């Protein structure tokens, strides 16, 4: 199946901005087959590129929060398990949470040879499925651009709850003031008012991410500019 | 008190290995804690789904009873119309003109006309009067009765608040006495105290012989007259063995 076909089907599967908060519905519609799902969450469909970007992100985590083979890790919005497939080799156990059961079906297929992985469908925004003080690392990548600000903060708060004291967190988004950020912004502004898609990417500011983490109670909060034109906020749950 | 072990590279390596093992055990414990939490959540979700399904089934059962009640009422109306037509027919047949033309019909019968229907049966026992009750039946009488007996359970009190002193079911002329004065705390909590009927629950078990029978659930008011709470027709069809 060609990427061009997948592009067309993806466009057909999108919802309008008014439905953005119905995350489960919006993202399940985009998970109809593995190509459309991959395009929706990663922007490409071929497995080598998915693996490469997965490895690049694991390097980013290693350079920001650090990684330990004994880590118990939770990814918020794991989608098709692009990162989990790589990261599960470098930790004790990887948990992937997503609001879309359709995305998790694809993730299940991609992670079937990874016994130290668990996939969990989130009922709604938040991590109510998980207990407190459980994880060493909680991260969320390429997700915040699809969420409203209140829901971004909700996940930061929830990450603080489920992390063990001393646990680390990572959240990223694209900033408006990068070349890529401005390109996404102007491209999105071209949509007619009534046809803005629900998944349309919305930027964050460095200040916004830092505020979320500090308000949620994280210490050692740092906001970094990454080489791939993303900004990432990291923090540690005080012991 | 023994002096502490000297800090040697071997001792540091051993402590580091021990620390790594402890960290791993702690992480493994947290993984199993999360898994158990997830399993419990799944069980709760399953339980919640079962509760929802039970609620939906109850709703469907109530809707079915409502449909059945409507059908029973329609059948009763059809029966009433049939009885009225039979009475009208009997009146025609006992009229002077019918008797006058009897020889002509007899002649037609001899020449191959239709057979004459049997005369209607005699009048049934007069039912007791109805009265206004506040009531609810936990076991709906609007059903096809498959078993040899059935227990009607519910609660009731007359609109005038007088006490119910006995309950019974009249099924086609046979009487079955039930029990009244059963506690219904939720009903009292919802509707308020009923001084005449502080325990408004009742139950009556009656036999359900095959066939169609008029049913009347009746209450004796204050040790005096019997009044009908609800009246209907029931169909009893035993299950095939």
What ipTM was assigned to the predicted interfaces of this complex? 0.80
> Is B95 within the bounds of a domain?
yes
Return the residue of A nearest to B41 by Cα: A129
Return the residue of B nearest to A123 by Cα: B45
Rounded to the nearest angstrom, the minimum Cα separation between B41 and chain A is 7
> Is B215 within the bounds of a domain?
yes
* Residue B149: closest CA among B139, B138, B135: B139
B31:A130 CB<8 A: no
CA distance A95 to A18: 31
Q: Which of B76, B104, B123 is the last residue of a domain?
A: B123
CA distance A75 to A60: 14
B33:A129 CB<8 A: no
A134:B41 CB<8 A: no
Quick one: B157 and B112 in the same domain?
no
Q: Which of B70, B89, B123 is the last residue of a domain?
A: B123
B24:A70 CB<8 A: yes
- For every one of its 241 residues, what pLDDT tens digit does chain B have, with 9 covering 90 and above? 677 777 888 889 999 999 999 999 999 999 999 999 998 887 777 777 788 888 888 888 888 888 888 888 888 888 888 889 999 988 888 888 878 887 887 777 666 545 444 333 444 456 788 889 999 998 888 888 888 999 999 999 999 999 999 999 999 999 999 999 999 998 999 899 999 999 999 999 999 999 889 999 999 999 999 999 999 888 888 876 5
> Is B241 within the bounds of a domain?
no
Quick one: B180 and B219 in the same domain?
yes
B34:A92 CB<8 A: no
The single residue listed with the structure tokens 């009208």 is B88
Quick one: B118 and B156 in the same domain?
no
Quick one: B109 and B169 in the same domain?
no
B27:A130 CB<8 A: no
Element (H, E) at A207: helix A206-216
Q: pLDDT at position B118, please?
A: 38
Q: Which domain holds residue B230?
A: 133-236
Quick one: B110 and B197 in the same domain?
no
Tokens of A203: 């930027």
Quick one: B111 and B156 in the same domain?
no
Return the residue of A nearest to B23 by Cα: A70
Quick one: B185 and B145 in the same domain?
yes
> Is B128 within the bounds of a domain?
no
> Is B63 within the bounds of a domain?
yes
Find chain B residues with C-beta within 8 A of A95's C-beta.
34
- Which residue out of B16, B17, B29, B30 would a mutagenesis test of the A interface target, given it has the greatest number of A Cβ atoms within 10 Å? B30
Helix and strand counts by DSSP (H, E) for chain A? 9, 7
Quick one: B93 and B157 in the same domain?
no
B27:A120 CB<8 A: no
pLDDT, one tens digit per residue, over A47-59 is 888 899 999 999 9
Rounded to the nearest angstrom, the minimum Cα separation between B12 and chain A is 20
Quick one: B117 and B165 in the same domain?
no
What b/e string do you get for B207-238 counting C-beta neighbours within 10 Å, with b at 16 or more? ebeeeebbbbbbbbbeeeebbbbbbbbbebee
Quick one: B111 and B185 in the same domain?
no
Q: Chain B residues with CB-CB distance to A under 8 A? A: 20, 23-24, 27-28, 30-31, 33-35, 37-38, 41
**What pTM did the predictor assign?**
0.58
Quick one: B155 and B49 in the same domain?
no
Instruction: Report the number of distinct structural domains present in chain B.
Output: 2
CATH number of domain containing B228: 2.60.40.650
Quick one: B116 and B228 in the same domain?
no
State the SS3 of chain B. CCCCCCCCHHHHHHHHHHHHHHHHHHHHHHHHHHHHHHHHHHHHHHHHHHHHHHHHHHHHHHHHHHHHHHHHHHHHHHHHHHHHHHHHHHHHHCCHHHHHCHHHHHHHHHCCCCCCCCCCCCCCCCCCCECCEEEEECCCCCCEECCCEEEEEEEEEECCCCCEEEEEEEECCEEEECEEEECCHHHHHHHCCCCCCCCCEEEEEEECCCEEEEEEEEEEECCCCEEEEEEEEEEECCCCC
């Amino acid at each position: 199946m060609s990427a061009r076909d997948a592009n067309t089907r993806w466009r057909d599967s999108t919802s309008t901005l008014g439905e953005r908060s119905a995350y489960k519905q919006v993202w399940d519609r985009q998970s109809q087959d593995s190509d459309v799902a991959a395009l929706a969450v990663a922007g490409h469909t071929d497995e080598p590129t998915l693996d490469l970007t997965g490895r690049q992100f694991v390097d980013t985590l290693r350079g920001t929060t650090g990684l330990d083979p004994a880590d118990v890790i939770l990814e918020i919005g794991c989608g098709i398990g692009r990162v989990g497939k790589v990261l599960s080799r470098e930790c004790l156990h990887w948990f992937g949470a997503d609001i879309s059961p359709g995305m998790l079906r694809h993730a299940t297929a991609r992670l079937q040879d990874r016994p130290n992985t668990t996939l969990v469908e989130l009922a709604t925004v938040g991590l109510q499925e998980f207990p407190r003080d459980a994880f060493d690392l909680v991260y969320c990548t390429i997700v915040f651009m699809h969420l409203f600000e209140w829901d971004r903060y909700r996940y930061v708060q929830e990450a603080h709850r489920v992390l063990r004291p001393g646990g680390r967190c990572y959240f990223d988004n694209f900033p408006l003031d990068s070349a890529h950020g401005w390109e996404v912004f102007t491209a999105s502004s071209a949509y007619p008012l009534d046809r803005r898609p629900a998944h349309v990417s919305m930027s964050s500011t460095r200040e916004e991410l830092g505020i979320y983490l500090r308000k949620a109670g994280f210490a050692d909060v740092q906001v970094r500019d990454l080489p791939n034109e993303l900004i990432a906020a990291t923090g540690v749950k005080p012991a | 008190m023994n002096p502490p072990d000297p800090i040697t590279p071997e001792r540091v390596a051993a402590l580091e290995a021990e620390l790594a093992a402890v960290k791993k055990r702690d992480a493994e414990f947290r993984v199993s804690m999360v898994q158990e939490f997830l399993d419990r959540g799944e069980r709760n979700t399953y339980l919640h789904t079962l509760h929802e399904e039970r609620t939906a089934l109850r709703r469907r059962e109530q809707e079915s009873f409502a449909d059945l009640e409507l059908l029973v009422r329609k059948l009763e109306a059809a029966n009433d119309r049939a009885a009225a037509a039979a009475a009208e027919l009997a009146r025609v047949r006992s009229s002077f003109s019918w008797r006058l033309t009897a020889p002509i019909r007899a002649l037609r019968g001899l020449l191959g006309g239709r057979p004459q229907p049997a005369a209607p049966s005699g009048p049934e026992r007069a039912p007791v009067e109805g009265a206004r009750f506040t009531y609810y039946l936990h076991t709906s009488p609007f059903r096809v009765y498959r078993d040899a007996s059935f227990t009607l359970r519910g609660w009731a009190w007359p609109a005038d608040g007088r006490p119910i002193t006995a309950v019974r079911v009249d099924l086609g002329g046979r009487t079955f006495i039930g029990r009244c004065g059963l506690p219904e705390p939720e009903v009292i909590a919802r509707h308020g105290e009923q001084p005449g009927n502080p325990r408004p629950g009742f139950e009556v078990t009656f036999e359900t012989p095959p066939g169609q029978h008029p049913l009347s659930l009746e209450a004796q008011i204050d040790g005096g007259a019997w009044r009908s709470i609800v009246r209907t027709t029931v169909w009893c069809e035993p299950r095939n063995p």
